[in-house]
Amino acid sequence: MRLRSRTLMIALAGVVIAGLSTGCSDAPGVAYANGATRPAASGAASSRSASPTAKPSPTAPAVPPLRVTGTPAGIKAKEGILVDAATGQVLWAKDPNGRRPMASITKVMTAYLVISAGDIDRKIKVPKGVLNYVAKYGASSDDLEPYETLTAWQLLYGLLLQSGADAAYTLATAYGPGMSAFIAKMNATARSLGMDNTHFASPDGLPYPTEYSTYSTPADLVILGEAAMKSPTFRKIVGTKQYHMAKGNGHDAHWWYSDDSLLGSYRGAVGIKTGYTDDAGHCLLFEAVRNGRPLLGVVLGDPPSGIDASEQDAARILNWGFSLKQPAS
């Protein structure tokens, strides 16, 4: 999404990372850089936290933590985090609990809810209000038209690859049903996942009613990333560079391209989602896998003037992360 809005900074620090529960399957706890682990959540939700001296969760994988040495250099993002998704160990973090707008990374939650609801072959008619919605906010678009009917599966490609706010509007309206009901589900799901420093006011990250009405933190967004990437459907979509939908019964032809430049250019990159507004800066939720080790992270608030600034930061962070070794036994 490409928007122009006022610049404002909100930061909140000092809270340790909260627990995690996906609602669909178990997920690894998150450990601190010194090897301590955030406790695994139990039940539908968890807001428990761990101190840096907490013992590793008994449910965490029996894989030795990496030996963390140094920090990634040249990082311009205001905030960020990198997690070893195989063990939950936090390898690096910069203001991980600072609240900031995350722009179109918001659409990861929208996709997560749609996929969790099931029936992604469901046919959905693009609502009449979609054109005014996109025009009002100057939002990124998949060029959907109100007379078109697409499946939820097709709309998810438009949502996650080309970051169409029209796809987000269409899915939210259908799955709420209605925008207000869908946003309420987004916030309820955030609470159930343990994303206690996150709030959604839109299904797409557009800056309304204010630039900071939708916000999250690096620590919360890796929770969301871990949960979403457990879905084979989500994982397949965000790992796709381009999607072509031929003209068919009820819809026009569409070409949608991923705006994540790490795909195809960074070895092992498998997604996840970019975002940009003037207030959010360049943002990226990302994952890469090498030698069976998945590293998942996020950067928020990269300089708006930079070209692919968030992808450059992500590559630096991943290079550093993949250079870490397990301690000698």
> Active-site residue numbers?
104, 107, 163
Measured CA angle at 159 (ends 205, 81), to 5 deg: 55
Alpha helices (runs of H) in the chain, residue ranges in sequence order = 106-117, 130-137, 152-160, 165-175, 179-193, 218-229, 232-238, 309-323
Q: Could you report how far apart the first and last alpha carbons of the chain are, in Å?
A: 47
User: What's the distance, CA 91 to chain centroid?
Assistant: 18
What's the sign of the alpha-carbon dihedral 203, 205, 211, 215? positive
Choose among 113, 110, 300: nearest CA to 217: 300
What's the sign of the alpha-carbon dihedral 306, 133, 263, 242? negative
Choose among 22, 307, 285, 305: nearest CA to 163: 285
Q: Name every residue whose Cβ is closer than 8 Å to that of residue 81 and which is 6 or more positions away in sequence.
A: 90, 92, 93, 94, 96, 218, 219, 221, 222, 297, 298
